[in-house]
Amino acid sequence: MIRTLKLTIAATAALTVMSAPSMAADYFAGKQITVQVPSGSGGTYHVYCQLVQRNIARFIPGNPKTVIQNMPGGGGAKSAAFMSHVAPKDGSIIAMVAPGVITTPMVRKVRYDARTFNWLGAPAARAAGVFFWHTHNVKDWKELRTRPTTIATSGFASSGSIFPRLVNATLGTKMQLIYGYKGGGRMNVSVEKGETMGRNNFLSGFTGVRPTWLPKGLVKPVIMYGPKSPSKFAKGVPRLDDLLKPGTMEAKMYEVLGMNLKVGQAFYAPPGAPSNVVSILRKSFTEMMFHKSFIEEIKKRRVEHSPVTAKQINALIKAGFDAATPDVIKAIKKRVYTKKKKS
């Protein structure tokens, strides 16, 4: 009887090991993976998620089916909270982070912490800036100190609102942010129709979905931030980090918040996902990012390819949080994350 019991335990243990994702090359066979977009359709967040959704499966053992899902809200905060508390942790869903939400837990109480995300990688870390529609004839960022302007944006935690507020806080500009747009596509329509005068965007945010706007001069950047861009459309445009005096509180604020853009269009699996499942996804994602066919498709979609690995993402986030000393956090809270009362 003891021998039978031992055999039963051994058999059960063997089945458990064999069923573990790390031991099963076909763990994802016959399954479906959802790629979640933290915004509405029509912008380059959606483009990058489409690129991943269309390519990732063939790099994953078992070649699972893939679908795409949009979850706009709060500038990406709704998606991040969903991934942290609701999403299944079995590898059946991954999401792209909206850059601004990474630093939000430093200054506001939210239902997620980006340091707990299981990062897979980012196809690109992109240069961004404030762009105005040509009919408004905004030629220089200094005009924004005295001239009333309106900026279309999504939620309070999005990078599309954080950085214009940071520009206001550090350079004394007076851009008025108009919140509530569900994705880049709707912001573009707002700017084109004259509902708002401009918007924060990535350079490739236009080349990917409105490819004629920059070449025709329909939109013009007046200030830029994030990774430096070799694009001809960024040439001669002042950069926020160059305008801030090193060592000042303004420069320290930029150092912390700028981490959002250095991390880039990063994808992750939910916190609490088994390490063996994460390993499969991370390895597959990395192979995809550097594969010739993926790079060719990115070029066809006219968006940027400047990959950031999961290891680099974790290091960037750690450095950003380490730089967020109490005095810097206090300044960011007061000057960037305080909503102005309507007069």
DSSP 104-120: HHHHS--S--GGGSEEE
Distances in whole angstroms, Cα of residue 244 to Cα of each of 28, 171, 296, 325, 338: 49, 8, 37, 19, 21
Name the pLDDT band for 29 (thresholds 50, 70, 90).
very high
Q: Residue 320 has which token pair? A: 């950003």
Q: Are residues 144 and 250 in the same domain?
A: yes
Q: Which domain holds residue 88?
A: 26-125+261-323
User: What percent of the chain has pLDDT above 90?
Assistant: 82
- Does 6 fall in a domain? no
Residue 35: strand, helix, or coil: strand
Q: What is the pLDDT of residue 113?
A: 95
Q: Are strands 128-133 and 219-225 parallel, antiparallel or unpaired?
A: antiparallel
* pLDDT at residue 120 greater than cutoff 50: yes
Distances in whole angstroms, Cα of residue 240 to Cα of each of 113, 168, 245, 250, 268: 27, 11, 10, 10, 29
> What is the per-residue pLDDT across 264-319, written as a single tens digit (0 to 9) for each?
999 999 999 999 999 999 999 999 999 999 999 999 999 999 999 999 999 999 99
Q: Are residues 30 and 85 in the same domain?
A: yes
Q: Are residues 300 and 236 in the same domain?
A: no
Residue 229's φ and ψ, nearest 5 degrees, are: -110, 140
- Does 19 fall in a domain? no
Name the pLDDT band for 8 (thresholds 50, 70, 90).
very low
* pLDDT at residue 5 greater than cutoff 80: no
> What is the per-residue pLDDT across 325-342, written as a single tens digit (0 to 9) for each?
999 999 999 999 987 655
Cβ atoms < 10 Å from Cβ of 287: 15
**DSSP codes joined into one string, 50-94:** HHHHHHGGGGSTT--EEEEEE---GGGHHHHHHHHHTS-SSSSEE
Higher-confidence residue of 10 and 154: namely 154
How much is the pTM? 0.86
- Does 230 fall in a domain? yes
- Does 102 fall in a domain? yes
Q: What is the CATH number of the domain that holds 78?
A: 3.40.190.150
Q: What is the pLDDT of residue 22?
A: 45
Q: Are residues 219 and 236 in the same domain?
A: yes
Q: Are residues 203 and 166 in the same domain?
A: yes
Mean pLDDT of 92-121: 94
Q: Are residues 162 and 116 in the same domain?
A: no
- Does 66 fall in a domain? yes
- Does 268 fall in a domain? yes
In a 13 Å sphere around the CA of 212, the CA atoms on its Cβ side amount to 1
Last residue of a domain, one of 212, 232, 260: 260
Q: Residue 234 has which token pair? A: 């960024």
Q: Are residues 58 and 132 in the same domain?
A: no
Q: Are residues 34 and 134 in the same domain?
A: no
d(CA 64, CA 321): 36
Q: Are residues 118 and 143 in the same domain?
A: no
Distances in whole angstroms, Cα of residue 91 to Cα of each of 28, 66, 81: 8, 12, 17
Q: What is the CATH number of the domain that holds 162?
A: 3.40.190.10
Last residue of a domain, one of 206, 225, 260: 260
* pLDDT at residue 128 greater than cutoff 70: yes
Mean pLDDT of 43-50: 93
- Does 13 fall in a domain? no
Q: Are residues 303 and 214 in the same domain?
A: no
> At 258, which amino acid appears?
G
Report the Cα–Cα distance between both ends of the chain, in Å, rounded.
82
- Does 334 fall in a domain? no
Q: How many domains does the chain have?
A: 2
- Find out whether 81 and 110 touch, Cβ atoms under 8 Å: yes
* pLDDT at residue 7 greater than cutoff 60: no
Q: Are residues 141 and 256 in the same domain?
A: yes
Q: What is the pLDDT of residue 12?
A: 43
Q: Are residues 283 and 242 in the same domain?
A: no
- Find out whether 226 and 205 touch, Cβ atoms under 8 Å: no
Number of H helices, E strands in the chain: 14, 11
